[in-house]
Structure 1
Amino acid sequence: MADLHDILLLPNGVKIKNRFFKAAMSEGMADEHNKPTKKLVRLYETWAESEAGIVVTGNVMVDKRALGEPRNVVVENEKDLDLLKSWANAGTKNGTHLWMQINHPGKQVFKGIVKEAVAPSKVEFEPKLQRYFPIARELQEEEIFDIIQRFANTAKIAKKAGFTGVQLHGAHGYLISQFLSPRHNKRTDQWGGSLENRMRFLLEIYKTVRKEVGDSFPIGVKLNSADFMKAGFTEDEALQVIETLDQLGIDLIEVSGGSYESPQMTGVNVKESSKKREAYFLEFASEAKKVSTAPLVVTGGFRTLNGMKEAILEGSTSMVGLARPMAVYPFLPKELLQGKRETIELAPRKTGIKLVDQTAMLELTWYSNQLERIGKDKPTNPELSPKVALIQSLWKNGLDVFQMRRV
């Protein structure tokens, strides 16, 4: 029976020192040219000291023309290799694995940040959401092949810089997720229609990345259990994708769910049965275990040491994914492993201003402020007033702060 302290052996033979997984959070700490900064290096050096087995970066974009937010790191070529090496060196101290999460946002790009949005098909978001985004145009097939190669190129550079793995972001409504979803993918060529065709984009990215980095370099994927949208990607389809990825040799699968149209990954609309087991997607992970031998990570909702232990012990998940808790408690895995902490307190962040509190981005802004403090070598401030965090973010980013925070 597995324990949180136990080593995890990936399918390719790579060993992970324990079962804690720091999941990706968008840091927004690149400079104005989308290069890594000293703050970013310091943030990951701190997390490398946390005793997490794997630490995953926030969105690293494969194309500067496709940014989720202005301060994304972009890796298109080797011109920033020395900066990437500094980042990788800091984040792999203490035997920690540092994996680069690589991504393309597709049509989830806010107005004013990029010249245009692209997607599998020209399908608009619901009106209340579409007002924040440019209307996307359909990708041409040659552009699809170009994006596939861009993922592989970024992964190759990550390996050269010293990152110890990569994670393909296939969840939360980004481009890979858009291809998987019949709601957003209306293509009639080899990239749309049947699930076999809709998963082709993800599978070709995986195969091309694997060809570039080799069998001994870990490749993981973050995948929605479902979109939780009418006519969207379903749990049954997700299980088929997981089974196929397992057969191809994927090293690790992180289970999540939802998108900005239906943000289940933030804890909204969680079933009572999920609340009892803490983590939002444990029930789905248990089903995924039946069709795949690849290690699974469940992120979202873990708040007690007992809940984490039980999830590992019963085999529902191979690793415990922690995101927001590690923005407030950056050494959390060490504290849990040493028995110094048994529960995590994360209260909802509200300003008392109704219009502001109805915007989910307020909480992301509060957590972003904590990441900024770690990057400046300051202690986190769990008691930080949401109003103060809002004012600081407005000062830094202007009114666009409500549009530019991502997951």
Structure 2
Amino acid sequence: MDVEFSEEQQEIRRALRDALDKQSDSPAVRAAMVTEHGFDPKVWRRLCGQTGLAGLGIPEEYGGVGLTFAEVVIALEEMGRTLFPSPFLASSVMAASAVLHSGDEAACAEILPGIAEGTTLATLALAEPGSRDVSEVSLTATATPSGEHRLDGVKTHVLDGVAADLVLVAARLDGQVALFAVAGDAAGLTRTQLPVLDQTRHQARLDFDNTPARLLGTPGADTAAVLERVRQLTEIAVAAESVGGAARCLDMTVEYSKIRVQFGRAIGSFQALKHRCADMYVQLETSRSALYYAAWAATEAEAAGLDVDPDAPGAGELPVMAPLAMTTATAAYRAIAEETIQLHGGVGFTWEHDAHLYLKRATTSALLFGDRTHQRERIAALAGI
């Protein structure tokens, strides 16, 4: 196993960091997060045009850059570092992965080029009230005599659900899990913005009432496997964002400790603060190690396809490593963000300082797939404990 990044990958990181430092500084983030959709479409299109951001993990045959999931993780780390408000997670990770793995070549050729350009904003609607697991999908799909399909039910906590031009929906068709594509302006679809703690990532409730939908792939075990793979990739994506955000919090704290003077000396010279910063660093590096191992496992699994040998090195570990990396990273992120606020003293508690934005992202990221108890039970079950 080699989890070292190549010079080309490091160059991708440097280029993205430079672009995001210019386009996603604190004033830009704060301005974007209070808009209707929670991000600046002009900035999103500009970055997509300059860096190919939206299509990093999409194959070249569908208009993407054709890189591996490792490069996607690098991009997510850098976006997490600046809290970049964008539809990348929903569109370029969740939705693109669902379409790509669906096995529906026509849908891939039709949908993925727009996602890769950043002109089509897509999302995946999986969670339902009281449930976020693939096995518990209950929204119903019905086939009409003409061969069309209609959806009825509710999806909730859909990332960028109001802004999306295209919604991919997990539903039950004749008792089997199936994947459908629904236009954002489809008849019978009602989209409601949800109040959220983290304003840099908008979520929505989607109500389907006899809503027309297009079936992707084949219903059944294959679609359930596709959605499980998408969930695993999303968990790693959230871990990457969390590592990037936690690293930024630590950097802010160390920098502040060098310039804040108390009792005639920089507070960073006090042993108690040194110990707390050291603890933050250990938590960060632990979560980063888990992330990179999971990213390597995902890259191996993507090369192997959905039918992965559970005993295969790396690839077979993905089902366990993905949620483990996410829970490790989000827990570390929240702890580090809380320490960042504490060690900044009074200024850390103010609206004007960015520390609270990172804490809010850390808190909500940890709950995207259910509470910690549920996540730990899932990891234990997957590990056979």
TM-score (norm 2): 0.27
TM-score (norm 1): 0.26
Structure number with bigger Rg: 2
